[in-house]
């Protein structure tokens, strides 16, 4: 089925480890986004991408790295995980026209 998938859905890791969260969309949407959702803060934008090989920082980019070599994939890497990065991470995409974003099911990450 078309849509956005995220993997893994749940991840437990330790402080200092590298973690990569995967996002895949089948709509060929040009824009893709990564958010984190925390109590009291709502959804905050980490990074976004307007097209393959074009990425830009959002509101809370520190400690995260993204890449986008293919239109359909937008992985998010935590190079050295910290406890403050424990959160639920959502990937979203949107077509080039319009502002509606479509969200994936989320990845629940716990950093011990």
Partner 1 sequence: QKEVEQDPGPLSVPEGAIVSLNCTYSNSAFQYFMWYRQYSRKGPELLMYTYSSGNKEDGRFTAQVDKSSKYISLFIRDSQPSDSATYLCAMSAYEKLTFGTGTRLTIIP
27 binds partner 1 (CB under 8 A): no
Query: Who's near 19: CB < 8 A, 6+ residues apart?
Result: 11, 13, 77, 78, 81, 109
Report yes or no: 72 and 26 within 8 Å, Cβ to Cβ. Answer: yes
Of positions 21, 104, 109, 111, contacts partner 1 by CB under 8 A: 104
Of positions 12, 16, 28, 41, contacts partner 1 by CB under 8 A: 41
Closer residue to partner 1, CB minimum distance, 74 or 90: 90
Count CB atoms within 10 A of the CB of residue 6: 20
Residue whose structure tokens are 């070599």: 69
Q: Distance between terminal CA atoms of the chain?
A: 35
8 binds partner 1 (CB under 8 A): no
Residue whose structure tokens are 């990074």: 47
Site string for partner 1, 45-74 (x = CB under 8 A): x--x-x-------x----------------
103 binds partner 1 (CB under 8 A): yes
Of residues 80-99, those binding partner 1 (CB under 8 A): 90, 94, 99
Q: Which of 79, 62, 74 is nearest to 101 (CA)?
A: 74
**Positions that interact with partner 1 (CB under 8 A):** 4, 31, 33, 40-45, 48, 50, 58, 90, 94, 99-106, 108
């Amino acid at each position: 089925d078309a849509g956005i998938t995220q993997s893994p859905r749940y991840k437990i890791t330790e402080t200092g480890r590298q973690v990569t969260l995967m996002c895949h969309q089948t709509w060929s949407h040009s824009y893709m986004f990564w958010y984190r959702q925390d109590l009291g803060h709502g959804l905050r934008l980490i990074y976004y991408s307007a097209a393959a090989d074009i990425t830009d920082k959002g509101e809370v980019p520190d400690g995260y790295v993204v890449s986008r070599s293919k239109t359909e994939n937008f992985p998010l890497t935590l190079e050295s995980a910290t406890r403050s990065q424990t959160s639920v991470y959502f990937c979203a995409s949107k077509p080039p026209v319009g502002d509606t974003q479509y969200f994936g099911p989320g990845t629940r990450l716990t950093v011990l």
